[in-house]
Each structure stands twice: as C-alpha cells, then as structure tokens.
Amino acid sequence: MQLLVKNIDVLAGIENTGLRRKMGKEMKTLTSVKNAYLTADGGKITGYGKMEDLPANADLAQAIIDAKGGIVLPAFCDSHTHIVYAGSREGEFVDKINGLSYEEIAKRGGGILNSAELLHNTSEDSLFDSAFARLKQMLASGIGSVEIKSGYGLNTQDEIKMLRVIKRLKAASPMTIKSTFLGAHAVPKEYKGRQSEYVDLICKEMIPAVAKENLADFIDVFCDVGFFTPEETAKMLEAGAAYGLRPKIHANELAASGGIQIGVAHKALSVDHLEFTGEAEIAALLSSQTMPTLLPGAAFFLEMNYPPARKMIDSGLGVALATDYNPGSSPSGNMKFVLSLACIKMKMSPQEAINAATLNGAYAMGLEKTQGSITVGKRADLFVSKPVPSLEFLPYAYGSDLTAKTILGGEVVFENKN
C-alpha cells in the first residue's frame, strides 16, 4: 500500500550513510527536515523531503495522513523488556517505601522468585493476554520493535512456556519482536545452595530444549552480586554460543560485577543496566561491537545511581536506551518517560536520547538494517507526535501523552483518541 505523510513539522532521525549505530559525538546529530513529507510503499520508506517539493503524484497515495504539524521520528526500538509475567508486585513496592532494598527483597524469596511462583500457576493463554495488552500500551508510546525475555520460569517447562508465549506474540502483533532466553535470571528456590547444579541444568537441558524448538534469538544472564558470577556467566554464554545464541546480558546493576567485561569477551550484542561503570568498563566497551544499554526507568524506580551516560558518550561510546518493562524494577513501558529520565537524570541531550532509543536500540536487537532511522528502503515504522512546539518539547513535557499515531510497516497501528 502507498502511504503519504504530509505536513510534518520536523521529520527527524534521517540516516543515509549506512551507519549501523551512533557513537560518541555522532549521537548529538539527529538529521532532520523542517516542514516535510514522507512516502512509503509496500511497508518501506520510498522518499521524503520538503513539503514544497512534494511530488505532483504523491497525493494519489492510497493512504494520506496529515501530521498537522506533529514531529515524525523512527518508531522507538525497545531492546530490553520482561513483559511476559504473571500478576504484579506492588506489595514489594510498598516494602521498598518502608526501607527494604531490591536485594533484601530478593533474599527473602521475593522479587524474581515471587514472579516465578505466580507464573508457574498461570496458563500460557493468560500470559499471552496480559503481555499482548502491555504491547498495546507500548505501541501507544511510539514503540515499534521490542525485545522480550523469558526468566520467570526458572525450570525447563516454564521457561519454554514463556518463550512459546513470545513466539505467539511475534505472530499476533504488528510490532517486530525478538526473544531472549533468560533462564539465568535467578536461582530457583528448589536449587537454593546448589547454584552450580542449576547452571548445569541451564547448559545441558534448557539451552538445548530452547534451541530445538527455535524459541530464542538471544541468551541473557543476570551477572551480578547475589545472582550469577562472571565464571558461571561465561559457562552459560559458551553453552548458548554452541547453538548460535548471541548474548545480551544484565550486568553491573548492583555492583561492579565484572559482567561488562564478560559480555564483551563473549561478543555480546549488548550489555544492559551498567549503573556501576568505571574507566575499565568503558575501555573494554570502546574496543568492542557491544552496545551499552541504559535502563534509567529501573534506576528511577529502585532509586539507584544512574549509569554515567555523559562520561560514556564523552569517551566515544554509543549508548542505547530501553524501558526494562518488568514487574519488579520498572513496571512501565513508556519510552517517552525513559527519554525524559535520560535527559533530566543522565544529562543526555534530547537528540542523543532519541538516537539511543531508535538506531542504537535497533542495533541492540540486530535490527539496524531495517529499523531505527528514516532511510529509504527501511521499514516505514514511525512515531507521529501531536502538534508540539519543538523536538525538545517531547522529553521536556515528561509524563504527557504526546503520541498522535504509531505507524508500522506503513500502516497506522495506533491512533490516539485523546
């Protein structure tokens, strides 16, 4: 189908150099056209330019969308979520208000183990329905591509159950979805005191079972104090690599755990969280193809120190931003709020934050060739804002609902009625 989007106040995120990710100073640049149009055909971007140069036949498109002075960006690419989960954990939210830390809650058998218990007792259909509803919320904040992890199963059967739900979501949603096997999210209570046996179970039983059904694109490990050690992480990543699963790991959220270096050594596509990042970690990342991915929603919710984004970017690194949508540390899939946090709390410029949530997020899911920028030939996945005074207004007006439409593959898949 042919699509024309006209009267765009600013069309931003244009990338024509074939750049796969933006790093260091490049992150500041968000190429844009003022007073623009964009055309698409067969789900892909075919052209764009200034309204005054609109081709004479463009108005013949089957679908014409008047952006009415809104901003158009590439749809956001959310490269780290845990949206398949059962129930919710607001009880722990109150425990945190009363002074308990995330680690203390986990030690008492709460946290991830609480979600594992709930998930064990929830059917695949019900998990699908709740995750699908979360995807719809995410669409409303302009997200077009999503990575979803397992990790609340913690036994072979329940991990497979989660990954089958993700497979069904891939088929049912207009969003582009990547799935990640995260059996090593926590040690289940049956294995308390026998952590190495659980690591063996992951390597010898879970990974082969997941690979047999072709259920995962990536492998993840929560490499941090109180969870899995760098040595255990290395073992599991090697087992995953034998089945072609590239790592995207949780690292350095709770301490300088060595996770970043382990991820880099295993050619991780991304290392995520990174609240504890120093010179050694930055040096390791600079010599790698690994995308550091920051999740400021989790730092906000758990009241942790934010990752040193400014220092990382000023050292020449690129960073991605993701929501980490999950029941324990970031119960929200609102990418626009993540942009605001990145600007307010990590001193990223609005342009840097948008690059981090689009092209760099796409890179962190291996989708940068087809998503993440306004490029002829890429998918017409677009975020269209309500009329706003400027691009900077989007992260500035934190918490406000500014999505007008989300367009995926050239079709309107969300339209704001508010």
Q: Which residues contribute to the site for Fe ion (CB under 5 A)?
A: 324
Q: Which amino acid is at 331?
A: P
Structure tokens at 369: 């060739």
Q: Does 253 bind ligand NIG (CB under 6 A)?
A: yes
Residues 131-170 close enough to bind ligand NIG by CB under 6 A: none
The reply on whether position 374 binds ligand NIG by CB under 6 A is no
Amino acid identity at 35: N
Please report, as residue ranges, which positions from 52 to 91 form the binding site for ligand NIG (by CB under 6 A).
Answer: 82
Taking residues 220 to 239 in sequence order and writing x for each that binds ligand NIG by CB under 6 A, - otherwise, the string is: --x-----------------
Span interacting with ligand NIG, options 134-142, 158-166, 212-220, 327-335, rule CB under 6 A:
327-335
Which one of the spans 230-238, 309-317, 322-330, 351-359 is the region binding ligand NIG (CB under 6 A)? 322-330
Give the residue at shortest CB distance from ligand NIG: 328
The answer to whether 111 contacts ligand NIG (rule: CB under 6 A) is yes
Q: Does 332 bind ligand NIG (CB under 6 A)?
A: no
Q: Does 329 bind ligand NIG (CB under 6 A)?
A: yes
Q: Provide the minimum distance between the beta carbon of 222 and ligand NIG in the complex, in angstroms, as a whole number.
A: 5
Nearest to 15 by CA among 26, 4, 6: 26
Which DSSP string do the residues of 394-408 spell out, in sequence order?
Answer: HHHSTT---EEEEEE
Partner from ligand NIG, Fe ion, none contacting 222, C-beta within 5 to 8 A by type? ligand NIG
One-letter amino acid at 121 equals: N
Give the C-alpha distances (Å, rounded to integers) separating 57 from 3, 23, 44, 72, 343. Answer: 12, 39, 18, 22, 41
Which segment (111-119, 170-178, 340-348, 358-366) binds ligand NIG by CB under 6 A?
Answer: 111-119
According to CB under 6 A, which residues from 188 to 207 bind ligand NIG? Answer: none
| Long-range contacts from 338-341, C-beta under 8 angstroms, 24+ separation | 338/295, 338/296, 338/297, 339/394, 339/395, 340/395, 340/396, 340/398, 340/399, 341/296, 341/297, 341/299, 341/300, 341/306
DSSP 80-105: -------S--HHHHHHHHTT--HHHH
Q: How many residues are there in the chain?
A: 418
Question: Binding to ligand NIG by residue 112, rule CB under 6 A?
Answer: yes
In the complex with Fe ion, the residue whose CB is nearer, 274 or 282, is: 274
Euclidean distance between CA atoms 391 and 369, whole angstroms = 25
Binding site for ligand NIG (CB under 6 A): 82, 111-112, 115, 222, 250, 253, 298, 324, 326-329
